Each structure stands twice: as structure tokens, then as C-alpha cells.
A and B are shown apart, each in its own frame.
Chain A
Amino acid sequence: MKIKPLGDSALLVSFGEVIDDEVNVRVHAIARAIEESNFEWLVETVPAYSSLLVIYDPLKVSHSEVEVSIGPLLNAEGRAFEGRLIEIPVVYGSSYGPDIEFVANYNGLSVDDVIEIHSKPVYRVYFLGFLPGFAYLGGMDERIATPRLGKPRLKVPAGSVGIAGKQTGIYPLESPGGWRLIGRTPLRLFSPAKEPPTLLQPGDRVKFVPIEESEFREIYLEEWGEGVD
């Protein structure tokens, strides 16, 4: 474990450059322990795969004081944090997942195989980043790993489920993007007026559930208050 300054207002706790369930569980446990300590200088913590950023108010505390204060909390082992299990309904293929055939062909599988392999595991939300509500998920089966698009799409609809290399993820907002799209969820992953504003929280577990297009339309209307385009 290493502690390094990230500028004059944050400290980065790093457990090496690894993507590993156990390490990530530890990152979340330490984040909780720090947040629960209610340090008056704490601004917020930001977890990632194997690192944790502790953002502090440099007008209230010095870098070395923060390091001393959080020292005893860095061994917050065994305080495993079992997140909630969130089911995410997904329509696979057709116009909702235009790249699913590519993913199947690339890996020598049928489209049904891809759906089965993708919807089977329970994924872990390692952390959120890139866009509000975007979850970095761990646990995808490498049999469906597929490289990104050579040229990113200018517009990917909110809720699109994609694959990039060995990762899978859901676009929370309409945005440009280069992931191979295999399906779409009608759920809203980011709702600024709600508290919390994101469907997924760091440490949660996720299961994708295949649904039919008619169900998609129903849930979409409920979630977004309008029909899908």
C-alpha cells in the first residue's frame, strides 16, 4: 500500500495497479471507515479499482495530519462490504444492441450464447466514474470479450449495454461512445432530482435479466415518463 499526494488537497491511497475483487472490497471498507469518522476536514472520498482518493480541505488540515489521521483506518480489513443486488432488465440484440452479432461472430458463438454468457454472472460495481452513474463492472466472462469500435459512435442512447475488451458497462446518459452495444436497459441510471441520484452505488452487485421488447417499452414509460424514441 502506498499513500501519495494528489496535489495539495487530496491523498491517494493505492494498493498497486490491480483489478481484483478482494482489493476492491478493501478499498470500499476503508472509504466507509474514513467517511464514518466524520473528520471535519473531509470533503469526500472517491474509490476506484484498487485506489482511494481522500479529498480534504487544505485550509483546515495539512497533508501530513491527514495521513496520520487515516493511518489506523487503512487496516479496515474484514469489514467486507456486501452491496445490494440490483437486477437490470435488458433487451438484447436488434436495434437495442446493434453489435451483438459482431460480438457473437468475433468469439465464434451464437447470439443466444452471448446473451446467456452475459446475463449469467453476478457482476460487482467496482466503482463509478467516466460519466455520472457509469459503473465499472467486474466479472465479465472473457469468452465474450470484444475490442472497441474503431470509430466511436457520436450518439449512444442512455441505457445501452456494451462491451469494451474484457469490460461490460451501461451508458447512463446519451453520449458518444466506442463500446460494442449488445442491448439496452429501460432503467434510468442517473436521475439528478433523486437522492441518491444513481441507480448503482459502489460495491453493489448487478445481475442482467433478459426481457422482451414489450416489457422494455412498459418499464421505459414508467421510468422516464415518456415513450422510447
Chain B
Amino acid sequence: MKALIELLRVPSLLTIQDAGRKGYRKLGVPVSGYMDDYSARIANYLVGNPGNTPLLEFLIAGPSVRFNASAVFAVVGDVEVRLNGVPIEPWTSHWAKRGDILEVGTLKSGLYGYIAFAGGIKCERLLESCSTYPRANLGRPLRTGDRLSLGHALLTGREGRYLPPELRPDYSGNKREIRVVLGPNLEHFTEKGIETFLSETYTVTPESDRMGYRLEGPAIEHSKAGADIVTEPLLPGAVQVPANGKPIVMMRDAQTTGGYAKIATVVSADLHLLAQSRPGMKVRFRAVGVEEAQEILGRLEKRMEAIRAFLEGKMRAYKVKVGGKEFTAFAGKVK
């Protein structure tokens, strides 16, 4: 029987996302895709899917879902989860039977949570992706009563996978350091402006969404060249500074080009940390070189591979204490 889920309650923004839309930016189509690639990929690995499989992304408050056939699912986020009223663990894959009801609560930290299903969510691929971008009618936010089909998957052996707390990303707390690569429009800023950006604390404002996060804080001084540039391409992570001097960090649904000077770009490995920062979060920026940013990303990717191998039972994780600090070590071979 075809597996279906029905959305019984959708309290906030709920969308289907995957790794995003590539190859269409030259036509003005944003990349879109999951805001927190780190959590979303783990959610997929928990249910035995490739990392870029379409899944549900919710903003703070999770939905309630009814299964009309057996399925394996995992909820990822700092959140309470119930199956037929009984509390179950997040960051764990579970088996659901026909008629079961999954209730996902409200995130205690972070902004975006994920629900992955073995086999993924079946959806109409538009421009080679299932990612939702409502502004251009590429999908739409999901509503109460919507029914979604799940892809075919062998369920045996996919449930019971569990990621221990020490391996989960931590989105709690009220301040963060975010690493950036400076540029490319540094000639539009004074030395003092760049110094302000790198030494002051900025606060995420409520005027933040999947397109961009507006930050509040000391104004960044532009040089005589001013805040406006001849429109240039940009990417998620780019930090634009309009004439008011307050930075805007572009996110996954950002337009493909922009006309404000860019002081820096958030490194790929840290973009998920910013994406998970609620309004009120204090952010400080630290500059790193491109080579260092690429090394940081390489290390994060190795860790993701290890987490995947661990979830697939191909590796073991050990807690190691070094100088009073706890670390997790993986043993075994990837692949």
C-alpha cells in the first residue's frame, strides 16, 4: 500500500526542502533548500536516506501528523515528540503503524526542526528540486489537511538509530561566534567600518526569514564609494550592508544578485549556526582566510561522514576525557 501521511495540525511555517536548486541561479532562481544542512542531513541519515532526500522543515512549532501505513521517521531538533501521546526521543528513528499519530512540540532552542521519513517525501520536482520557494510558485507552505506520499523504502533495519546528545549540534545559549571571509566589496567600507563589524556585537532581529537575517548593532561605516554597488551576484551567507550600516546576512531563499556592498561572507560550515539563531541572539563575527574556511568545512564534512557511518552501525563512538573535557572519538572505517 502506498504510504501517506496527513497533516492534522500545522502551527507555523512548514515546507518540503532538500539540498536546493542548482544550475538555475543565472536565470534568477534562488538556491533554496534546508536552512540547516547539518541537522537536515542527520535527519535523513537517521532513517537511512541519502542526505539530500526531501524532508519536512518546520519553524519553531512542529506539526501533528497521522500515518496511514507503516513508516520509519525521525524528528531532529531540541523538541518534545509524542507518538500516540507517549513521549519518544528526538534524534532517533522510530517505527509508525497505520493510524499512529505523531505530535511534534515547540523547539526549546534553535529555529528550524526537521522530520525525515524513510524513502523521503514524494513531491513534484520543479527545476530539479523539491525545495519550496513560494514567491515563484515553486511549491507552497504546507497546510492542515494536506496529504503527502512517501517514497518506497525497505523499512526493516532503519528504525532504532539514535544520535547521542554529545553528537548533536547545540543551538542553545544566547551568543555565537560566526566566522566569515572578508570581502569582496571592502573598498566600499572604511577601515573603521570593517573594525566595527569585526569587534562589535550584533543582534538577530525579528525581521529575519528564509531570505535573509537582519542584524541590529553599531552602524558599519561606508567609505566614499557608498553603500550601493553596481548590482552583482551573491550567495547565501553574503553579508550586505545598506546605507543604514546594519548588516543583512543573505539566507537560502535570497535573490541571486544584490545592489548593496558586501563586507564579508559567512563560511559554509557556520551558516547553519546562524540559520538556527533566534531573534535576540548576539552574534560576533571573526575573519578567517579562504583556505582556513575550506579546511573547517572539510573537517565538518569528515565529521558528517563519521556520524553517518556511526548511524549505519559501521563505526562506534566513544566518549574520551582529555584534560577534564569530554570528546567523542569514532573508531572503525568509513566505507
Contact = CB atoms under 8 A, between A and B. Distances in A.
Contact of B27 (A6, A17, A58, A132): A132
Interface residues of B, number: 42
A7 B266 contact: yes
State which size class the interface on A falls in: 35 or more
Given A8-B181, A8-B268, A8-B290, A131 B230 contact: no
B298 interface: yes
A130 B294 contact: no
A129 B23 CA distance: 14
Nearest to A45: B26
Given A7-B235, A46-B26, A129-B255, A14 B291 contact: no
Residue from B231, B238, B262, B301 whose CB has the most chain A CB atoms within 10 Å: B231
Given A53-B233, A190-B136, A192-B127, A128 B28 contact: yes
B29 interface: yes
Contact of A197 (B27, B235, B293): B27
A58 B290 CA distance: 10
Contacts of A59: 297-298, 301
Contact of B268 (A31, A43, A58): A58
A44 to B, nearest CB: 5
Contact of B26 (A17, A58, A172, A202): A202
Interface string B110-145: 000000000000000011000000011110000000
Given A7-B238, A58-B297, A48 B268 contact: no
Interface of A: 4-10, 12, 14, 17-19, 31, 43-53, 55, 58-59, 62-64, 127-134, 136, 172-173, 175, 190, 192-193, 196-198, 201-202
Which 9 pairs from chain A and chain B are nearest by CB?
A: A7-B265, A129-B257, A53-B233, A8-B293, A4-B184, A46-B233, A128-B28, A17-B230, A132-B29
